[in-house]
Amino acid sequence: MEHERPLLRWLDVGLPRLINFLNHTDGRDKALKVIQYSGKLLVATMSRLDPSLRERLVKMIAGLSLTRAVLRLAHFVLLLPEARDWLLGRLRVADEEAGALQPYNAFASILNDILDDILTLAKLGLLDKARLSAVDRAASRLWLSCCLIDLYVAWRGLRCAPPGAVDTRLVVAKFSGDLVCSALE
């Protein structure tokens, strides 16, 4: 179809440029995440924490949360090539059991990122927060489903990985940490 060619051309040329730009913020997000989650763990586990220090930590955590959300605005664009490849049948999975969840995960991640962008814009005062409770619930549920799928896929990979394959264990640790820190909220 003729009307699809400009979009496909943009996906092949413009999208990689946008992805390159957005990838530069990913490292900053990860560094801030470590600081934010360390603060959450301190607040959650230190019952004798000085009240003024606790209050400052809570403010720091909230500030880092908003900063990270702003850094992740339009993150869904990074996921578009994978979704395109699923739609075009370019992606195949070696592990059929875990792989059956991957197309859902790709599209749920995109939708979750878009909902997170809407919530971030509301936190910045650009949208009315009062009307977004359903968006918040949907984003949380999508995020949790994607984390659980990522954990399952990583666990399946860990079972099949040769001894000493640290990278899969790190993925499991990362997603487990995300779930624990989210439970602390």
* pLDDT tens digits, one per residue of 149-184: 888 877 777 777 666 665 666 666 777 777 676 665
Q: What pTM, to 2 d.p., does this model score? A: 0.74
Q: What is the pLDDT of residues 107-139, one digit of tens each?
A: 999 999 999 999 999 999 999 988 899 999 999
Structure tokens at 98: 């875990």
